[in-house]
Amino acid sequence: MTASSSDRSYPAYPMLGVSLAVFRDGEVLLASRTQPPLVGVFSLPGGLVETGESLESAALRELMEEVQVEAEIVGFVGHREVVDRDSEGRVRHHFVVATFAGRWRAGEGATGPEAGEVIWRAPEQLGGLPTTPGLGALLAWAKTIVDGAR
């Protein structure tokens, strides 16, 4: 169950989210965002953690819900804070996102309500692609985790 975009705007407290960098044959799965913030920008599939759900379970669930892909989690990459303010300085969005690295198991990736376009791309070939801030560095670290776990 995913909260609507309006439920996420001007929150009383930060929201806990997850994302998953899924690698297949040296490429990572990216999806363009259809929900604020950063609509149209490519990012890792992910979403909010539900009450009682572990971070890893949430990451795998969101991956399936958003892009119809299955993966196995290899390790924890780190966390990022996303804070978006309106023109008056009020916090419009505040997310703390835990990111995991994983290996592809099944599914090619499909578009849906939260994924406008789905692509597989080598992390070093993101040039010219609109991406969320810091995605390149995040993917470089995620790739070292996946490569080191072989």
pLDDT in tens, the chain (150 residues): 344 445 788 999 999 999 999 999 999 999 999 987 788 999 999 999 999 999 999 999 999 999 999 999 999 999 999 898 999 999 998 999 999 999 999 999 999 999 999 999 999 999 899 999 899 999 999 999 999 976
**Angle at alpha carbon of residue 145, lines to 143 and 150, rounded to 5°:** 100
pLDDT at 82: 86
DSSP SS3 for 6: helix
Domain total in the chain: 1
At residue 101, the pLDDT reads: 98
CA atoms of 110 and 50, how far apart (whole Å): 23
Range of the domain at 19: 5-148
Q: What's the CATH number where 41 sits?
A: 3.90.79.10
pLDDT (0 to 100) of residue 4? 44
**Phi-psi group of 10: left, alpha or beta (phi > 0 → left; psi -120 to 50 → alpha; rest → beta):** left
**CB 5, CB 35: distance < 8 Å:** yes
What pLDDT score does 2 carry? 43
Q: Apex CA 41: angle with CA 73 and CA 80, to 5°?
A: 50
pLDDT for 38 equals 83
Are the C-beta atoms of 101 and 77 separated by less than 8 Å?
A: yes
Neighbours of 89 (CB within 10 A): 7
Res 8: pLDDT: 83
